[in-house]
Structure 1
Amino acid sequence: MSWKLTLPCTRAEAETIDAAEDFGIDPAPVLMTTETVEDDTETWRLDAYFEAEPDDAAIAAIAALVPSAAGTPPQVEALGDEDWVTMSQAGLEPLHVGRFFVHTAAYADAVPAGARAFLIDAGRAFGTGHHETTSGCLAMLDRMADRDFRNVIDLGTGTGLLAFAARELWPTARVIATDIDPVAIDVTAVNATLNAVDRVELVVADGALSDDITAAAPYDLLIANILAGPLMSMAPEVAAIAAAHATIVLAGLLETQRADVVAAYAACGCSLEDVDRRGDWSVLRLTAGAERFVPTAPIDPKGRDGWALDL
């Protein structure tokens, strides 16, 4: 028997929930957020699916994700013997972006002819493609298919989806996918096997300072779908591993944060070339300077913000 815990939440909370949160529960719950009233930022819902009845500690851990629900008793219900993972994903409609079709197992038979399908089930890492930032990145990459990239890195890969898209678009390129969370790298490895994606190198790393990352630099395409604060604080280290005239795709930022993010990268010699705005979110394409950026001082990872997983 499986169980579902439901709490109300806001859109802002839904967009910052970390699906790879370590709750100390094995197996970890599957988290799903849903807009319950169209275009109402305050009326969303969080559903957490468990394989066993959640105890008080598990309920408290989920409730901590949605402060706006303080004082609201969570709804906890038994689901019987249904396939709870498939049921939890039933609300995730497939996404068709350019040549890519991103779907859960529930839509495995709905792949359009000629599309490159990626089976990405919701689970312990973000990046199903359904958030505006991830779908915007897919669209941005798809529009660059006629370019010739040789060395690609996806910083904060989450489920691996954007790295997989890069492998599809530039099959001869070296592609590296990194994440601060080992769980995300494990999920990416599983997803790579499920989707017959090969030759994507996986690295557990905090930011871009890992020896494995710097040794493979410079990169001519850099993708970072994280959050605005980390994007800004990481600007020098991202720019430092970029080749001259490299393309940098940044996402995870609100439109209201765009100017600050652009300014952080402009200070490192990068210029804004394109913006794909999706709702309140923006995906940026920048070009690195004509000469490789060299930081004027050593970068101390302890002095910059922590960063989040791919949305």
Structure 2
Amino acid sequence: MSADIDSWRVTLPCTRAEAEAIDAADDLAIDAVLMTTEEVEDDREHWRLDAYCEHEPDAAMLAALTALVPSSTGTAPTVTPLTAQDWVTMSQAGLEPISEGRFVVHTSAHPVAAPAGGRAFLIDAGQAFGTGHHATTSGCLKMLDGLVDRRFANVIDLGTGTGLLAFAAAHLWPVAIVTATDIDPAAIVVTRENMAVNGVEAIDLIVADGALSDAIAAKAPYDLLIANILAGPLISMAPEVAAIAAPRAAIVLAGLLETQRADVEAAFTACGCTVEAVDRRGDWSILRLTAGDARYVPTRPIDPKGRDGWALDL
């Protein structure tokens, strides 16, 4: 092999359901960076899995990757040697800058200047999800931008991923206390690195499962809550999210399909919240709700072992 080859890419077709399961998994024990991509917009069947690894994949690696996407059974993985380019840059080469409201989000491969009166964020693809290119993340940016005329003093981003949504909140409300949490310690490391790259300061970072951490509860109530995760965790976490919300707090939820919206809305309305706005983007929906007039008190103790595990920011 050429001495210029220093990394490898394995590509397999997959379905959206398989892509979501990969994105939601906490630890797949595969020594590769996994990325899933929508090949055909709003098509459930035509997605792609790319695995970037630093060593030539052996039979065991190829078998493990194929097992993640059963729909590809019978399709030989495409193995591509990559020349001496940084493999993270290769993984994000197709991620063009996106613009939402006063924000532009870009990768190192596609630098762009901030818009007049706005803010550009450099978010590279890597261990944590949330580059802004998924409809849920870009939709949250737009939803937050629409709240700019309101005043918030205490903001929390649950499942922060790369930290992007917390950064946007810190820009829109510079005097607010902003907290970013994630169940995955690696995501908090990535967020801290992205803070340094983007010159973002004074965001409190917490490793926590859901909203039950003592560190999160000690800073409650929050008047703006952001949770871009998945529908199942949103439903099961509704009481604990509502419990840390200030009366009349704004709550932005994402990571749910339109077909799941009614169930998510029902879980939060049962906790006294009211749906104020919906931004539908293809099959995905972003919700903005308002907490009740009084602080919500759960009707029964919340057992974190009894609710669904939750995943990184989309």
Q: State the SS of the aligned residue for 1:92.
A: coil
* Structure 2 partner of 1:92: 95
Q: Distance in 1 between matches of 2:139 and 2:249?
A: 19
Does the 8 A contact of 1:19 with 1:126 survive in 2?
no
Counterpart of 1:10 in structure 2: which amino acid? T
Per-residue deviation, 1:80:
2.3
Task: Indicate the RMSD between aligned Cα atoms, in angstroms.
Answer: 1.7
Partner deviation per Cα, 1:168-208 (whole Å, 9 max, x = no partner) = 00001011100111111111111111111111100000100
Count of residue pairs the alignment pairs up: 309
Match of 2:296 in 1: 293
- Cross-structure match for 1:175: 178
Give 2:13's match in structure 1, choosing from 5, 8, 18: 8
Unpaired runs of 5+ in structure 2? 1-5
Letter paired with 1:18: D
Report the CA distance shift for 1:45/1:245 in structure 2 as closer, same or farther (over 3 A). Answer: same
Q: Report the 3-state secondary structure (helix = DSSP H, G, I; strand = E; otherwise coil) of the residue aligned with 2:68.
A: coil
Distance in 2 between the 1:233 and 1:109 partners? 39
Displacement of 1:58 in angstroms is 3.0
One-letter code of the match for 2:145?
D
Q: Report percent identity of matched pairs.
A: 73
Q: Which residue of 2 aligns with 1:213?
A: 216
SS in 2 for 1:220: strand
Per mean C-alpha deviation after superposition, the further-off stretch among 60-69 and 271-280 is 60-69
Partners of 1:227 and 1:253 in 2: how far apart? 6
Q: Is the 8 A contact 2:25 2:311 kept in 1?
A: no
The code of the aligned residue for 1:5 comes to V
Alignment of 1:136-285 (within 5 A): 136-285=139-288
Q: Which residue of 1 aligns with 2:3?
A: none
Aligned match of 2:310: 307
- What letter matches 1:156 in structure 2? G
Following the alignment from structure 1 to structure 2, what is the Cα–Cα distance between the partners of residues 111 and 63?
41
**C-alpha displacement at 1:22, in angstroms?**
3.5
> For 1:98 and 1:109, how far apart are their aligned partners in 2?
15
Cα deviation for residue 23 of structure 1 reads 4.6
Aligned-partner Cα distance in 1 for 2:24–2:114: 26
1:81 and 1:301, CA in 2 relative to 1: closer, same or farther beyond 3 A?
same
Alpha-carbon distance between aligned partners in 1 of 2:50 and 2:77, rounded to the nearest angstrom:
10
1:68-83 residue pairs with structure 2 within 5 A? 68-83=71-86
TM-score of the superposition, structure 2-length normalised?
0.93
1:225, CA displacement in angstroms?
0.5
Mapped contact 1:20–1:126 kept (Cα < 8 A)? no
Kindly provide the CA deviation profile for residues 277-305 of structure 1, in whole angstroms up to 9, marking residues without a partner as x: 11011011111111101112111101111
Q: Deviations over 1:9-36 (max 9, x none)?
A: 12333344328854546xx533333333
Question: Unmatched 5+ residue regions in structure 1?
Answer: none
